[in-house]
Amino acid sequence: MNYIEFGTEKKKASSVVMGCMRIAGMETEQVAELVECALEEGINAFDHADIYGKGESELVFGRVLAQKPALRDQMFLQSKCGIRPGYFDFSKEHILQSVENSLSRLHTDHLDALLLHRPDALMEPEEVAEAFGQLKAQGKVLDFGVSNMNAMQMQLLQQAIKQPLAANQVQLSAAHTCMLDAGFNVNMNAEHGIMRDGGVLEYCRMNHIAVQAWSCLQYGFFEGTFLGSDRYPELNSVLERIGQEQGVDKSAVALAWILRYPAQMQTIAGTTKVVRLRQLAKAADVVLSRQEWYEIYRAAGNVLP
């Protein structure tokens, strides 16, 4: 497993992250097995959000920590807040209360990272700064980040908060390459030449901000996985071939494609199956050549100019 040094605390966080969105409804023993499998594979980073399972994902994870509190010291634990039914809320009151609720559900006294979950158009950066400052001073959150924000939104927030943003969680996969396409089609009158994100990958690289990729095996907006899909025969063929050459499942190659981007990259694995988690953890061991990386990009249906 590979690790990045995260935020101001420089705590080591694994490049493959266990996503906890789908663990709601699982038995405590099942989640404990999944968590221990992750740690065995070197995955120490766990990603939550207060809305996952309407809080149930954090609750069942917290039951594991309540039963096995020693596991907490082995973890990089983060959660997200800001999504409410029908609207987004970055108010100081909501951020503070969300963190209190997450800490209680997770049976921990602090989060290693708190991310704002999707942009709030009514965000007051100074109000967010007050919330972050209070949480940092109280030791309840060590580092802060965002999710699904573009470069200008991050800059707007950063000019108010004292803590440097440590992460941005964005959708990225071999079949969802919007953030890369415009960079290949600069000054071209083509659909792929439209910049939709304000250069967020470049902004994160310039400011040493971790890029956390979600829906790493999906295409579209939760339309389904591209693995085994009839929509992506060439992509599956290329992933399968490289996987056989490197002795890993093709899903690990798909995650390795994300990790090959030269930034502080993390990829979130949202599986609830121990066998699948072990397969995905191998992504950190796969080293793709430049030629292989571009072959995967083109195999998804992308055309280089």
Task: Report whether 96 contacts 58 (CB < 8 A).
Answer: no
**211 bridge partner residues:** 168, 265
| Residues 6 or more apart in contact with residue 72 via CB below 8 angstroms | 65, 108
Please give the backbone phi and psi of residue 256, each rounded to the nearest 5 degrees, phi first: -65, -30
**Residue among 48, 104, 110, 44 nearest 71 (CA):** 44
User: Could you say which of 3, 52, 87, 261 is catalytic?
Assistant: 52
**Residue among 223, 140, 225, 134 nearest 174 (CA):** 225
Q: Is 52 a catalytic site residue?
A: yes
> H or E segment at 19?
strand 16-19
Task: Report whether 23 contacts 60 (CB < 8 A).
Answer: yes
**5 bridge partner residues:** 12
**Residue among 15, 11, 36, 32 nearest 23 (CA):** 32
DSSP 3-state of 173 = strand
Q: Which residues are tagged catalytic?
A: 52
